[in-house]
Amino acid sequence: MKSILSVLTIFIALTCFSKKGPMLNDPTFPGSSIHFDVKEGLSKDHSTWPNKKSHTNSDTWLIKNHEKIKTLNPRLIVIDFYNKRPEAYCREFVDKVIRAFAEGSRYHGFKDSSALPQLVYNLKKYINLRDSSGRDISDKRPHHTDGTFDEAALFGDEFAQYLGYRDPGNASWLRLGELFDKGIINECWIVAPNTLYEVQGRTRKYDSSFRFKGAYNECLNACYSFGEAGKRTSVTIRLGEINVDRGVGCATHAFGHALERMALGDIPYFGKVAGRFFNFNLDTRYGAPFDTQYPCPYYVTPPECFNYSGQTITTVNNHLKGWTFKNWGEGCGNIHFPINAKFQYDYNSPQTVMCGCENYGKKNGADGADAQNAYNTDIVKQWKTSAYSDCGGEYVMYLRQNMPGYNSGTIGDDGKPMKSWWPFYFY
């Protein structure tokens, strides 16, 4: 009898932890999710996305009904590989990031207390993949033999078991890319420093009529390898790094680069309405010998690349080719360069510069231009708190709250009401 029980015990153990993954009814498995309904919890209200009609990134419905969407509640999973910090600490940090993104999507919230957030993430699952290895990063994080992150394996069959979703026939675990394809999730965040580089993704490219061109951009903040399994995913993939060793402001900063990247060509309409806001296309618009301010080198002495005299901007210190422009201030700035910045990350410049940031797209100034407001560090001091200030987060919050949102009253160069910028993130 004892020998029979021993054999059964070994059989059960092998079944639970075989290459095919854990048993479906194993309540201790971190990603366990035996039964799920992809439309569960979704509303019939078409002013909210995702909804019962549309819940998948890159959905044609999302594109056709863009202007109707008042609130985005993208479905999010978080994968935690970070042994160094307590799980409760990391969960609380994720909640703070979600709240910060919501706050940043309140159009003109800094002067309109009634402004509602347009971007409110819906955390569907927090997957704890820590281990007892004694290392800061769990060995459950896909890795190469040298220990570095294996990003392609994140989308593979072996890692799928940790996500904990079965296909309807229970034949196999759904891979990460399949979760995006089926609209089970719209975004994935990873808690583990130096795993992703800020924000990565595989985003669809569109033409000027919002038609998918059949091509993808796999180079956002850096170029990313999705592997064959990841490349089978047809919709836009959004991945974000959550660095709990920094402040929440760093998350608003890092994810802000993904918004900038969309203005560089993947969605032509967005590029047209957002390029001026971010002070992009300086070469074609202002005759500069560079397209953006980002070629300004990091960590040089002296650090200044730019100087200001009234509304005249001039390159200095020979870090960039010589350039002077007398009507600076049409835009708002970008993640590394507030409108008055002299160098990379110059969030504390005392310089006052007039800009069209708060009236961007309003066309309420002289000759149909945007009226201008003064910008300096005093403008953003309300966010200079422990909640936002790391990585220039106080400025980034101001930048985000001036990005045109739902029913913002902004006008595009075509004379039509400008589309809210937030839905583009899920095209």
Quick: pLDDT tens for 232-285.
999 999 999 999 999 999 999 999 999 998 888 899 999 999 999 999 999 999
Would you say residue 101 lies in a domain? yes
Residues 255 and 303 in one domain: no
Mean pLDDT of the chain: 91
In DSSP notation, 243-309 reads -TTS-HHHHHHHHHHHHHHIIIIISHHHHHHHTTTTT--HHHHH--SSSSSTTSPSS-SS---EEEE
Would you say residue 162 lies in a domain? yes
State phi, psi for 423 to the nearest 5 degrees.
-60, -25
Residues 169 and 40 in one domain: yes
Residues 34 and 142 in one domain: yes
Would you say residue 170 lies in a domain? yes
Q: Are 314 and 341 in contact (CB under 8 A)?
A: no
- Which one, of 238, 322, 328, 319, lies nearest residue 276 by Cα? 328
Query: What confidence tier does 219 reach under pLDDT thresholds 50, 70, 90?
Result: confident
Residues 305 and 324 in one domain: yes
Question: What total number of domains does the chain contain?
Answer: 2
Would you say residue 4 lies in a domain? no
State the CB neighbour count (10 A cutoff) for residue 363: 18
Residues 166 and 313 in one domain: no
Would you say residue 264 lies in a domain? yes
Residues 170 and 122 in one domain: yes
Query: What confidence tier does 297 reach under pLDDT thresholds 50, 70, 90?
Result: very high
- Which one, of 227, 221, 263, lies nearest residue 240 by Cα? 221
**CA dist list (Å): 48 to 125, 184, 404:** 20, 16, 17
Query: What confidence tier does 171 reach under pLDDT thresholds 50, 70, 90?
Result: confident
Long-range contacts of 380-384 (CB under 8 A, 24+ apart): 382/110
Residues 367 and 409 in one domain: no
Residues 310 and 240 in one domain: no
Residues 122 and 198 in one domain: yes
What is the structure's pLDDT at 381?
A: 92
Residues 291 and 335 in one domain: yes
Q: Which two tokens stand for residue 297?
A: 């080198």
Would you say residue 6 lies in a domain? no
Higher pLDDT, 221 or 115: 115
What is the structure's pLDDT at 35?
A: 61
Enclosing domain of residue 132:
26-268+403-427
Would you say residue 21 lies in a domain? no
Would you say residue 273 lies in a domain? no
Residues 322 and 389 in one domain: yes
Residues 247 and 166 in one domain: yes
Query: Tokens 């490349």 map to which residue?
Result: 231
CA dist., res. 299 & res. 139, Å (int) = 35
